[in-house]
Amino acid sequence: MYKNQYDTDVTVWSPQGRLHQVEYAMKAVQLGSVCLGLRSEGHVVIAAVKKQTAELASYSRKLQKIEERVAIGVSGLTSDARSLAKFMRTECLNHRYVYGSCIQVGRLVNDVADKHQRCTQSYVRRPYGVGLLVASCDSTGPRLFQTDPSGNYYEHYAHSIGARSQAARTYLEKHYESFPGCTKEQLVEHAIKALAGCMAGDEEITAKCTEIGVIGLNEDYNMLSEADIQSYLDRIEVAAGGAGEEKGGDDDDDDAMDAEDVGAV
C-alpha cells in the first residue's frame, strides 16, 4: 500500500468507495502471527503461534481469558487487543452485576464490533489494528466468532487469522466435516497440525512458541501447559513417523516396479 490523498483521515472516502485507513488496519491484522479456532459439539479450541521481538525477549501472549467461559485469540497490534479485552471484561462484569448471569457471547461480540465500527466514523480516532477470534461455550453450545477492524463479525465452525493463515484455513476447510464428532484431544491435534502448516521456511512448531486454550460445555477456559502441548507434539510426530514409514515402503515398491519397467524397455 502507498500513501495517497484519500488516506489522511478515516472518514474520507476514495473515488472507488474505499476507506483506506480501515484497509490499513486490516492489513495490520494480516501481518500479525497466526491465530486459529475450531469447535466440536462439546468443545471449542483456540490456538496461536507466539512471537519474540528479540532473541532474548519473552514471547508475547496471543490468548486472553475474558470470563470463565469466554476467551479471545488476537492477531495484529497487541496494545489494541489489551484495550478491547479490558472493554470485554467490563461488559461481562456489568452484565453479571445487573442480571446475575453470564453474558451471551453473541451480544458481547456485537458490542465489540460496534466499538470497532465507531472508530471508522470519527476523524479523531483511528481504527483498531487488531482482529479477534472469540471462543465461548454458552447455553447454545460451543461458539466461535471473528471480528475485524471494519466492525464486521462472523460466526465460524473453524477459522484462522494472521500471517500465513491461508495454510491453516486450507487445512481446516479440508477437515472441518470431522470436527463436530471430535473429542477435545482430537481438536487440539487438529489445531496443532493446522498451525504447523503456517510456520515459515525451516521453522518448526514447538511447545514454547505455541499457545492453546480449551473451553467445554462443562469445562471452564483452560490454557494448556508447555508439557501438555509437548505431549501432543510427540504424539503427532510418532503418528507422522509411522505414516512416513508406510509411505516409504510403498515408494520402494514403486521404485522396484519402475526398475522392472526400464529393464523391459
Query: What's the pLDDT tens digit per position in 20-73?
Result: 899 999 999 999 999 999 999 999 999 999 988 888 888 889 999 999 999 999
Q: Report the C-alpha gap between 33 and 50 in whole angstroms.
A: 7
What percent helix, strand, coil does the chain show, rounded to 5?
45, 25, 35
Evaluate if residue 122 carries a pLDDT over 90: no
* pTM of the predicted protein model: 0.85
Q: How far apart are CA 93 and CA 89, in angstroms?
A: 6
Residue pointed to by grid coordinates 483498531 = 128
- Which is the CATH superfamily of the domain at 20-224? Aminohydrolase, N-terminal nucleophile (Ntn) domain (3.60.20.10)
228-251 mean pLDDT: 69
Amino acid identity at 232 = Y
Task: Quote the cell numbers at residue 83.
Answer: 484495550
| C-alpha to C-alpha distance for 229 and 174, rounded to whole angstroms | 23
Which strands, in side-by-side order, build the sheet including 63-67?
63-67, 70-76, 130-138, 141-147, 153-155
How confident is the model over 78-114, as pLDDT tens digits?
999 999 999 999 999 999 999 998 999 999 999 999 9
Please tell me the distance from the alpha carbon of residue 167 to that of residue 197, in angstroms, as a whole number.
Answer: 6
Q: Where are the domains of the chain?
A: 20-224
